[in-house]
């Protein structure tokens, strides 16, 4: 039987975690936001407050909604609070060992009925399940940045995810007014596999002198109505992040088209990581 989610614990109050906490609280769900220290968790809480203030300024959020949302969120620097939630979502860095350690600790802290979600953008849910005593309640809940704006959530079922867990997760995603897509666990899920492939091919085209980065992006933005071309997007995501995912997909899928192009390897080695360092396929400063 699926369960109704009314209290969520979000672990990791960074770029993604604070957004997941915000959209959950806006939908009337009580939220506890956890980070490695209470100070870091509080920083996430302040980011939520700033987003909501901005929403009020733009008249997308009423002052009453802002106040009610903030009142539903508490924060902590300790996992012990996770026990009070019926869904725990982790949004800690993309390192399998870190996530494994966290889930092992969560198994000690929360009862077996609590649903567990991972916001991983590429790691295998089945691999994350492998060491767990109760793997059937773990699934992927892959949100997109910025969470309060982007509608999509990939819901990924690993080999051992139960039907009930999947149904509960889908109900939660709809409740927070996001659109779920259901994906069987496989490298890169749907979005990273397709998105990264397009980006890598665009890089190879720049490398071959087929067209400039600007013109490749323009071609897809105007010709295919992509909101943003693949190279500009790569600059925003970070070339280092994309390189890591490409290497991972190349290794896992064993497919040549995921081999990172030399231009990507070179730019990352030179510290040209995209917007965050001032240069990637574009100059940002």
Interface positions with ligand NAI (CB under 6 A): 11-17, 34-36, 40, 91-94, 98, 102, 119-121, 143-145
Residue closer to ligand NAI by CB (options 148, 205) is 148
Residue closer to ligand NAI by CB (options 14, 219) is 14
Residue closer to ligand NAI by CB (options 144, 282) is 144
Rounded Cα distance, 98 and 46, in Å: 25
Residue closer to ligand NAI by CB (options 35, 205) is 35
Rounded Cα distance, 92 and 33, in Å: 12
Residue closer to ligand NAI by CB (options 138, 205) is 138
Q: Residue 119 Cβ, how far from ligand NAI at the closest point, in Å?
A: 4
Phi and psi at 166, nearest 5°, equal -60, -45
Q: Residue 254 Cβ, how far from ligand NAI at the closest point, in Å?
A: 22
Helix/strand/coil (H/E/C) assignment for every residue in 227-261: CCCHHHHHHHHCHHHHHHHHHHHHHHHCCHHHCCC
Q: Residue 105 Cβ, how far from ligand NAI at the closest point, in Å?
A: 8
The neighbour count for residue 172, using CB atoms within 10 Å, is: 28
What b-and-e string marks burial along 78-94, b requiring 16 or more CB atoms within 10 Å of the CB? ebebbeebbbbbbbbeb
Rounded Cα distance, 154 and 87, in Å: 16
Q: Residue 99 Cβ, how far from ligand NAI at the closest point, in Å?
A: 7
Residue closer to ligand NAI by CB (options 121, 126) is 121
**Measured distance between the N- and C-terminal CA atoms of the chain, rounded to whole angstroms:** 54
Residue bearing tokens 């949302």: 69
Enumerate the β-bridge partners of residue 283: 279
Q: Residue 94 Cβ, how far from ligand NAI at the closest point, in Å?
A: 4
Structure tokens at 155: 């819901």
Residue closer to ligand NAI by CB (options 14, 83) is 14
Q: Residue 62 Cβ, how far from ligand NAI at the closest point, in Å?
A: 27
> Which of the 8 DSSP states describes residue 141?
E
Rounded Cα distance, 143 and 123, in Å: 14
CA 101, 80, 118, 33 torsion-angle sign: negative
Q: Looking at beta carbons, which residue is closest to ligand NAI? A: 14
Enumerate the β-bridge partners of residue 34: 11, 76
Q: Residue 17 Cβ, how far from ligand NAI at the closest point, in Å?
A: 6
């Amino acid at each position: 039987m699926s369960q109704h989610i009314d209290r969520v614990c979000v672990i990791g109050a960074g770029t993604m975690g604070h957004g997941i906490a915000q959209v959950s609280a806006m939908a009337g769900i009580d939220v506890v936001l956890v980070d490695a220290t209470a100070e870091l968790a509080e920083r996430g809480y302040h980011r939520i407050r700033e987003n909501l203030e901005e929403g009020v300024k733009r008249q997308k959020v009423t002052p009453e909604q802002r106040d009610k949302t903030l009142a539903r969120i508490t924060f902590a620097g300790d996992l012990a609070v996770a026990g009070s939630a019926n869904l725990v979502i982790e949004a800690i860095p993309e390192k399998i060992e870190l996530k494994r350690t966290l889930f092992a600790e969560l198994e000690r802290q929360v009862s077996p009925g609590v649903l567990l979600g991972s916001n991983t953008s590429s790691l295998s849910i089945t691999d994350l399940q492998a060491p767990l005593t109760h793997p059937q309640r773990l699934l992927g809940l892959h949100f997109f940045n910025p969470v309060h704006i982007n509608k999509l959530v990939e819901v990924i079922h690993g080999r051992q995810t139960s039907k009930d867990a999947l149904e509960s997760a889908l109900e939660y995603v709809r409740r927070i007014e996001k659109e779920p897509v259901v994906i069987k666990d496989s490298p890169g899920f749907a979005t990273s596999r397709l998105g990264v492939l397009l980006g890598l091919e665009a890089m190879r085209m720049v490398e071959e002198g087929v067209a400039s980065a600007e013109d490749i992006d323009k071609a897809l933005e105007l010709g295919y109505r992509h909101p943003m071309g693949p190279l500009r997007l790569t600059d925003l995501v970070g070339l280092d992040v994309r390189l890591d995912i490409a290497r991972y997909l190349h290794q896992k899928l064993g497919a040549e088209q995921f081999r990172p192009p030399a231009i990507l390897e070179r730019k990352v080695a030179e510290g040209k990581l995209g917007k965050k360092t001032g240069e990637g396929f574009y100059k940002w400063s």
